[in-house]
Structure 1
Amino acid sequence: MTDGPANWPAQATFRALGSTRLNTTFIKTGIDADMFTRLAAILVVLVTFSAVGAQEPAASADPLASLKAELTVEREVYYPGQPLNVRFTLFNPTDEAIDVPLPPGTDVGDAVTLPLRLITGTSAEPSLWLAYEDERAIPFGTSSLETDDGKTGALRLEAHTAVGRALDLAALQRGLRYSGEYRLTWQPLHAHVPEVTLDLRIESRKDVVMVTDFGNMTFTLMYDEAPRNVENFLELVRDRFYDRKTFHRIIPGFILQGGSSDGTNKGLRPDGKLVPGEFHDAPFEVGTLAMARKPSDPDSASCQFFISLARNPELDTDYTVIGQTRDEESVRTLQKLAELPTNKKGEPLRPVRIRVMTLVDTTAGGPTRQMNVNER
């Protein structure tokens, strides 16, 4: 029997079920086409009902399991002695208010800030763990924070709202003063809420060494005055971005500029990231290291930097200073670079490359002021 208009409805139904061959078999046995169509339609309804029913999630018996925890930090790298601020947030994404039970003795405060006990837990039931390098995670110390007065209660978290709190973990945990990798794990409400983790790095402060064909220049960085710009610079150094880059602009008595991704004044970081200005009162003297930016945009620092070749008061507080030459060797190298021949635009006649940039531990004493290189 060939396919034709008379048996088309039965074929169409079974094609939807992926069984055209079976349809032909039924038709060959003499089953009425209309009856076959009705049977197929019933099967389609049953299959559809089963599929829809299987997709319906079972209602959670524990409303606390719907809460979402989040950990956020200001930066990825911290330094010994620096505040280590972490923000803890508990979010209710549902359409119903949820009453969050509080451990005994919890100070609810103004109910706008996440209670401390919901962050740390208690000695008996900790909620916060800290792991150093590959060591086993241990509960975050909470004994000094506990004042159990036997009171109990609940914090109502309305639908689609969040409550949070920022803590300086370095002030609460002395172990965070050591350099290395740390992992913070938070699981509030004793496993009712899925745990979240946060990786942190504490790093001893570093100086930067620029190795050139004309000598080395070492810079002490200004972590406290320009933290974002210093971290941006350090990130590029760690990623070996500056290796083999050039100094593309030399203006004697003014500046030496380099670090461009394409060797021109327009080069940016590969990811296009820009860093806001952090202007402070460090003066522009010989050997002052600063981030270049667009003249029209104070928040456009990227990868390019420049080094002052003289006292340039007109630059003070207008560009973000991130460092200063550390020693006499650095100034001698800077003087050699400042004397290289250029064209009328200040472009070196031959490529002047940074062989490599490396990080070394900061030495005591810090940077020293130097005389104008043109006076030496």
Structure 2
Amino acid sequence: MLRTVRRQRIGLLSLAVHGLLAGSALLHAQEVDPSRAALTDAVRLEVTPLRGLTAPGRPIWLRFALINSSDQAIEIPVDDLSPAADSIGLPMSLVTGAPGKPCLHVGLEQDKLVAVAPAPSPSPRPGSLRLAPRGCVGAEVDLAAIGDVRHPGVYRVEWRPLATRSGPGVATFRIDTRKDVVIITDLGKVTFELMYEQAPRNVENFLDLARGGFYDGKTFHRIVPNFLVQGGDPKGDGKGLRPDGQTVPAEFHDYKVDFGTLAMARKPSEPDSASCQFFIALARLPDLDGQYSVIGRAKDDESLRTLLQIGGVPTDRRDRPLRPVNVRAVTLIEATESSALKSK
């Protein structure tokens, strides 16, 4: 059972607190016996970005979770129980630490991590949090409201509110300006604007592969006139995946699949099986609406002309082009404003 507790506004910090597995955590405003502060190795710390890619100046939501993986209740000392005295949630003193004892550190990957300064409490209330067997308690915090994460780059977060054998909770996220994608082929180039809001995970996956040069030298292995062209497969037979084998959860939305639409290919029976292959629609395809993770659309006439050229390449009975159509490179450029995408 999932119990969601109301959002709370704490100064500049927006905090969403979730009590997971009802009754999993109890807060006690009382003196904490130091002998009870020793924690078992069963406590696990997790930090998860709600989005791995964020534009500068936007909120950066991280989910912090304390998990008891044992069959015994665990008593955790807390420097300050406020402001969650009347609710189930992770106290902020376990997210950022207490003054003089920070437990949350963040920084660009190539730099030294810097402590996020805990906000002082006018009336701290020490106590304890009793984490039930197999229980967990968490919070969602906008890191941009409390940490120095203004500059583009890949950031690393370490969270260590407790000394546990499993080590700190660790996460990474990227801050980057919005990009358009240019697919350069033998027959011309196609420029796409991306749907960051509608399909953030799938857009992030595509950008990650493009930054690493994954798509360079691949082909369009499937061409169906007046239907679609498909590419990005490392095997060239429609069965290839990312080098790490990872797949991306589906992010279906209401954008219509039309001429120039860019979407992630997947197995017909597995919505969450998108990996690296993509397809581009060559016509309005209403039967595909809401069935695939659409991540972008061609944004100019040159792109549409190139797609018509690709779609006209002769193929065999299995829709394989009789001559290779190569993806020479996939490059990223700074995005330009477009109202057409937002209005759909």
TM-score by structure 2 length? 0.77
Question: Whose strand fraction is larger, Structure 1's or Structure 2's?
Answer: 2
Moved more, 254-263 or 148-157: 148-157
Task: Pick closer, same or farther for the CA change 1:233–1:70 going to 2, 3 Å.
Answer: same
Would the aligned equivalents of 1:100 and 1:154 in 2 still touch at CA under 8 Å? yes
Indicate if the aligned counterparts of 1:105 and 1:148 stay in contact, CA closer than 8 A. Answer: no
Look up the match of 1:148: 122
CA distance 1:90–1:320, change in 2 (3 Å): closer
Q: What corresponds to 2:324 in structure 1?
A: 351
Name the SS for the 2:203 alignment partner. Answer: helix
SS of 1:314's partner is: helix
Indicate if the aligned counterparts of 2:315 and 2:322 stay in contact, CA closer than 8 A. yes
CA distance in 2, matches of 1:206, 1:188: 36
Partner of 2:107: 131
Question: As a proportion of its length, which structure holds more helix?
Answer: 1
Does residue 216 of the first structure (1) align with residue 192 of the second (2)? no
For residues 94 and 301 of structure 1, the distance between their equivalents in structure 2, rounded to whole angstroms, comes to 35
Deviates more, 1:281-290 or 1:91-100: 91-100
Deviations 1:127-153 (A, max 9, x none): 22322354454332433xx43225332
Unmatched tracts of structure 2, length 5 or more: 1-33
C-alpha separation in 2, matches of 1:296 and 1:353: 29
Matches within 5 A, 1:260-279: 260-279=233-252
Q: Distance in 1 between matches of 2:149 and 2:60?
A: 9
Q: 1:162 to 1:354 in 2, by over 3 A?
A: same
Q: What secondary structure sits across from 1:113 in the alignment?
A: coil
Q: Does the CA-based 8 Å contact 1:275-1:299 persist in structure 2? A: yes
Q: TM-score, normalised by structure 1?
A: 0.71
Which residue pairs with 1:72 in the alignment? 47
Structure 1 unpaired stretches of 5+: 1-59, 370-376
Answer yes or no: is 1:257 the counterpart of 2:230. yes
Identity between Structure 1 and Structure 2 (%): 45
The answer (yes or no) to whether the contact 2:216–2:327 under 8 Å persists in 1 is yes
Q: Secondary structure at the match of 1:167?
A: strand
The one-letter amino acid of 2:60's match is: L
In 1, are the aligned partners of 2:95 and 2:161 still within 8 Å (CA)? yes
Between the two proteins, the alignment pairs up a number of residues equal to 306
Cα distance in 2, alignment partners of residues 270 and 125 from structure 1? 41
Contact kept in structure 1, 2:222 and 2:230, CA below 8 Å:
yes
Aligned to 1:325: 298
**Within 5 A, what are the aligned runs for 1:220-299?**
220-299=193-272
Distance in 1 of aligned mates of 2:333 and 2:240: 27
Q: Quick one: structure 1 residues 302 and 111, their matched pair in 2 at CA, closer, same or farther if it must change by over 3 Å? A: same
**Distance change >3 Å, CA 366–CA 260, structure 1 → 2:** farther
Alignment CA distance shift 1:93-1:330 (3 Å): closer
Counterparts of 2:155 and 2:85 in 1: how far apart (Å)? 30
